[in-house]
Structure 1
Amino acid sequence: MPTEQPAWVITRRKEIGARIRSAREHANLSQLKLGEVVGVDHKTVHRIEHGTSDPGLGLLLHIARVVDVDLAELVR
């Protein structure tokens, strides 16, 4: 059974999601296209961008590479 996340974790996920969304848009990619390239559906991309999903490190690394932004910049 999943445990409830502290408020600060949810806030940080939303901040990171907003940076991912900005980088995706700057790269001229739709959620659908980014999802296709990184191997997830567009709904997962949407959930990541809105902070409701907790993506793993591998997926974050893949997203960072596709949008051409260092992972450290996305999660700063």
Structure 2
Amino acid sequence: MLRDNPEWIIERRRELGERIADLRTAAHYTQESFCETTGLSRRKLQRIESGETDPRYGDLLRIAAALDTRVSVLVD
């Protein structure tokens, strides 16, 4: 379960979500338009950006492609 993760993992997940949200807004995407571009559901994107869930690698690939960047930029 995600709740059983140590605090440092939870914090990194929050940082990833914040980075994705910041890059999305800097690219002038709303959550709705970003979901249309990536194919992610709005709920999934909300959970990723809030740090509630670990995104799958495929989700990160979609997000990075929409932002015209690499996955390493998202997770670094």
TM superposition score normalised by structure 1: 0.88
Name stretches of at least 5 consecutive residues in structure 2 with no aligned partner. none
Q: Which residue of 2 aligns with 1:62?
A: 62
Give a deviation string over 1:35-63, Cα, whole Å, max 9, x none.
12222221211111110011100110110
Q: Which residue of 1 aligns with 2:33?
A: 33
Pairwise mapping of residues 1-40 of structure 1 onto structure 2 (< 5 A)? 2=1, 4-40=4-40
Name stretches of at least 5 consecutive residues in structure 1 with no aligned partner. none
What is the letter of the counterpart of residue 11 of structure 1? E
TM superposition score normalised by structure 2: 0.88
Q: How many residue pairs were aligned?
A: 75
The CA deviation at 1:69 is 2.1
Give a deviation string over 1:12-55, Cα, whole Å, max 9, x none.
01111111001101111111111122222212111111100111
Identity %: 37
Q: Which residue of 1 aligns with 2:74?
A: 74
Superposed CA RMSD in Å reads 1.2
